[in-house]
Amino acid sequence: MTYLDRILEQHREMSESDHRSVEGLLRSVQQMPPTRGFRDALRVQPGLAVIAEIKRRSPSKGDLFADLDPAAMAIAYESGGAGCLSVLTDTFFFGGSTDDLQAARRHCSLPVLRKDFTVGERDVLDARLIGADCVLLIAAALDKLELLALHELATGIGLDVLVEIHDEAELDLALEAGATVIGVNQRDLVTFVVDHERAVRMASLIPAEVVRVAESGVRGRADALSLRRAGYDAVLVGESLVTATDPAAAIADLRVG
């Protein structure tokens, strides 16, 4: 069993034990103010946009910055020119929380992605209710019908959706769902190996009207330049920013033309 299998098993168990009324959650969502526009924020930035991630730990590497202050980090990221934030809210595997997302969002003006393992409609509704502007759907974690249904629900309640893919088959599913923001994860979810060539190959296959995001394994300016040349609009960067001595400067270094 891979780490992704273990994470999904836990999240599906949690989802199945959640008996809150979907209709009640929908009524609550309808009272929410408009989102900040995650996709639009990436589109308007000149050059390569940076989605800067707040991430306390990872299953493969352990603690990265367990005691980070999400508010201070959000402020630093915004001052460095980040286009959006990504906040891990999974607690057991990544040490995150919804409190992290809400604190980060309160202290900056950037749109925020809820980075978590979305497996059911209540997960999507919760993302909106806690203040996220965008939700992550991982194609490898969902079957076709789930992906289509959750994407439709998310967009219907005002969320942008980042659909994460790894290969051509998953790209086809993302496009069938109507994805307008697609992230190519350079890291294999089974072996953890980063494959930069995969990202370069996939970029040319993603339609131009879709916002193209490269995820994982972006180590610095050289990687950013390579991905920008390949056609990416944005990079999602976590580990190298969280562990940077000066996160704002590290983001500025990634903002290649």
Active site residues: 53, 55, 115, 164, 185, 215-216
Structure tokens at 254: 């990634």
The SS3 assignment for 194 reads strand
Phi-psi domain of 160 (left: phi exceeds 0; alpha: psi -120 through 50; beta: other):
beta
Distances in whole angstroms, Cα of residue 237 to Cα of each of 34, 84, 213, 256? 26, 11, 10, 14
- Per the CB < 8 A criterion, the answer to whether 10 and 107 are in contact is no
Backbone angles phi, psi at 49, to 5 degrees: -80, 150
Helix (H, G, I), strand (E, B) or coil at 182: strand
Closest C-alpha to 70, from 83, 95, 82, 87: 87
* ∠ Cα 50 164 246 (to 5°): 25
**Cross-strand bridge partners of residue 184:** 165, 214
Residue 48 dihedral angles phi and psi, to the nearest 5°: -80, 120
